[in-house]
Amino acid sequence: MEEQIVSMKSDFFKALAHPTRVRILERLAKNGEEVCVCDLIEDLGVEQSNLSQHLSILRKQQIISSTKVGLRVMYRIKFPEVLTILGNVQKILAQQFKEGEALMRHLADR
């Protein structure tokens, strides 16, 4: 049972572990409102099919939710804690930058 919960936590992180999915969340966070898929395609500059797959992963984890309005599908962030988490990551990276480690490590790895 405790095993299950740990596994669910890592699944949650796995859902955030892709640049496109982070960008989706930051775009949705921008104006707390709903954003349609069509706008996300433009703003993120990714293929519709690819974007749809990433949205599906975030939906499955209940991180975002969607509503159909006519032709459009509107997406929004479901839990404000997600924004807190993104903020904390930002904070950690900022501290790592101060130590001058983050960027170098990142560049070294690719």
Partner DNA sequence: GTAATGGATATAAATCTCTAAATATATTAT
Partner DNA sequence: ATAATATATTTAGAGATTTATATCCATTAC
Scanning residues 15 to 34, which ones bind DNA (CB under 7 A)?
17-18, 20
The verdict on 76 binding DNA (CB under 7 A) reads: no
Helices (H) and strands (E) in the chain, counts: 6, 3
Stretch 2-41 residues interacting with a second copy (CB under 8 A): 3-14, 16-19, 21-23, 26
Q: Do the Cβ atoms of 59 and 66 come closer than 8 Å?
A: yes
For residues 49 to 88, the per-residue mask of contacts with a second copy, x marking binding by CB under 8 A and - elsewhere, is: -----------x-x----------------x-xx-xxx-x
By the rule CB under 7 A, 47 interacts with DNA? yes
Which of DNA, a second copy, none does residue 52 bind to, with CB < 5 to 8 Å depending on kind? Answer: DNA
CB 58 within 8 A of CB 25: yes
Is position 49 an interface residue for DNA (rule: CB under 7 A)?
yes
Residues 31/42, Cβ–Cβ less than 8 Å: no
Residue 91 contacts a second copy per CB under 8 A: yes
User: What b/e sequence results for 58-76 when a residue is b if at least 16 CB atoms lie within 10 Å of its CB, and e otherwise?
Assistant: beebebbebeeeeeebebe
Residue type for 61, please?
Q
The footprint of DNA (CB under 7 A) covers 14, 17-18, 20, 36-38, 41, 46-57, 66, 68, 70-73
